[in-house]
Structure 1
Amino acid sequence: MDAEQFEECWHTHIRHVVAYAERHVGRDAAYDIASATFLTAWRSWDVVPSEPVPWLISVAHGHVRNHHRSRRRRGTLEQRLALLDKASYAGPDASVTATQRAEALAVLAAMPEADREALLLVAWEGLTTAQAAEVLGCRAGTLRMRLHRARARIEASPDLFSPLTRSAQ
C-alpha cells in the first residue's frame, strides 16, 4: 500500500466522486458515499487502476445503489409500523406504555408477513386457528407453524407482548 499515492488520488478525485454522488443521493448523503468509495479504494488499493476515475465512479455507483436499497427498506418498515400502529387497539385498558408499544410494533413489523398475519388474525381478530387458516388459504397445521414461529420471535421480549401472547394461545 502506497499511502502517498492514495492521498494524491483522494485529493485529485474527491470532488469528482462527491459530485457524482450528489447527483444521485443529494448533498447530505453524497459525502457518506464518497467516504465509503475511498474506504473501498483504500482497502482494495492493489486493484485500483492507474486511471482511477472510472473505477471510483463504479464503486460509488454501487454505494449509491446500496443507499437507495437501504432507504427503500427503511421506508417499507416505516409503512408497516404506521399500519400496525393505526390498526392496534389503544383503549383505556391497554397496559402497554408508549415505549413498549413502539418496541412491540417494531418486532411485529420485522416478522415475515405470513407469520405476522397468522398471529394478528388469532390474537387481534380473535379467530381460531382453523378460521385463520381458512382466511389465509392454508392448512391449519401450516397456520400453527406460522404461529409457533411468530411466538418464538416474541419470546425474546416477553414483557412487550404479554397481553398479546396470552390472548393468542
Structure 2
Amino acid sequence: MDADQFEACWHAHIRRVVAYAERHVGRDASYDVAASTFLTAWRTWETIPSEPLPWLISVARGHVRNHHRSLRRRAGLEQRLELLDTSAATGADTGVTATERAEALRVLAAMPEQDREALLLVAWEGLTTEQAAEVLGCRPGTLRMRLHRARARIESTSSNPLPLSRSVQ
C-alpha cells in the first residue's frame, strides 16, 4: 500500500465523491458515504483500477444504497413502535411504568414479525395457541416454537419481565 498514492487519489477525487453522495443522501450523510468509500478504497487499494473515479463512484453508490436501506429499516422500526405504542395505550394494566412500557415496545419491535405476531395474538388478543396458529396459517407446534423464541428473546434482552400478559411469562 502506497500511502502517498492513496492521499493523491483522495485529494483528486474527494469533492466529486462527496458531490455524488450529496445528490443522493443529502449534505450531512454525504460525508459519511465519502468516508466509507475511501475506507473501502484504503482496504482494497491493490485492486483499484488506474483510473479510480468510476470505481470510487461505484463504491459510493453501494454505500448510498446501504444508507437508504438503513433509513427504511429505521422508518419501519419507528412505524412498528408507533403501532405497538398505540395498541398498548388501550391496555388495561395501569400499573405499568412508562419505562417498562417503553422497554416492552422496544423488545417487541425488534422481534421477527412472525414471533411478535404469535406473542401478541396469545398475550394481547387472548387466543389459545390453536386459535393463534389458525389465524397465522401454521401448525400449533410451529406457533408454540414461535412463542418459545419470543419468550426467550424477552428474557435475554430485558432485566425486568415485560408487561404483556401473565399467560406469556
**TM-score, structure 1 length as denominator?**
0.91
Runs of 4+ in structure 1 displaced over 6 angstroms? none
Query: SS of 1:159's equivalent?
Result: coil
What does residue range 104-143 of structure 1 map to in structure 2 within 5 Å? 104-143=104-143
The equivalent residue for 1:67 is: 67
Contact kept in structure 2, 1:96 and 1:160, CA below 8 Å = no
Gaps of 5+ in 1: none
The equivalent residue for 1:11 is: 11
Task: Specify whether residues 79 and 88 from structure 1 end up closer, same or farther in structure 2 by C-alpha distance, changes over 3 A only.
Answer: same
User: Mean alpha-carbon deviation: is it higher for 24-33 or for 143-152?
Assistant: 143-152
Contact kept in structure 1, 2:124 and 2:165, CA below 8 Å = no
Q: Does 1:159 align with 2:160?
A: yes
C-alpha displacement at 1:164, in angstroms? Answer: 2.0
Query: SS of 2:164's equivalent?
Result: helix
The equivalent residue for 1:28 is: 28
Gaps of 5+ in 2: none
1:106-157 per-position Cα deviation (integer Å, ceiling 9, x unaligned): 1111112111111111111111222222222222222211111111111111
The equivalent residue for 1:2 is: 2
Distance 1:45 1:158 in 2: 46
Task: Specify whether residues 72 and 120 from structure 1 end up closer, same or farther in structure 2 by C-alpha distance, changes over 3 A only.
Answer: same
C-alpha displacement at 1:89, in angstroms? Answer: 3.7
What amino acid sits opposite 1:42 in the alignment?
W
1:26-59 per-position Cα deviation (integer Å, ceiling 9, x unaligned): 1110011001111111111111222110111011
C-alpha displacement at 1:92, in angstroms? Answer: 7.0
Task: Specify whether residues 75 and 31 from structure 1 end up closer, same or farther in structure 2 by C-alpha distance, changes over 3 A only.
Answer: same
The equivalent residue for 2:47 is: 47
What amino acid sits opposite 2:160 in the alignment?
D
Task: Specify whether residues 55 and 27 from structure 1 end up closer, same or farther in structure 2 by C-alpha distance, changes over 3 A only.
Answer: same
Distance 2:131 2:92 in 1: 28
CA RMSD across the alignment: 1.7
Distance 1:135 1:19 in 2: 50
Task: Specify whether residues 140 and 158 from structure 1 end up closer, same or farther in structure 2 by C-alpha distance, changes over 3 A only.
Answer: farther
Distance 1:148 1:165 in 2: 15
Distance 2:120 2:93 in 1: 19
User: Mean alpha-carbon deviation: is it higher for 19-28 or for 123-132?
Assistant: 123-132
Contact kept in structure 2, 1:101 and 1:160, CA below 8 Å = no
Distance 1:118 1:93 in 2: 21
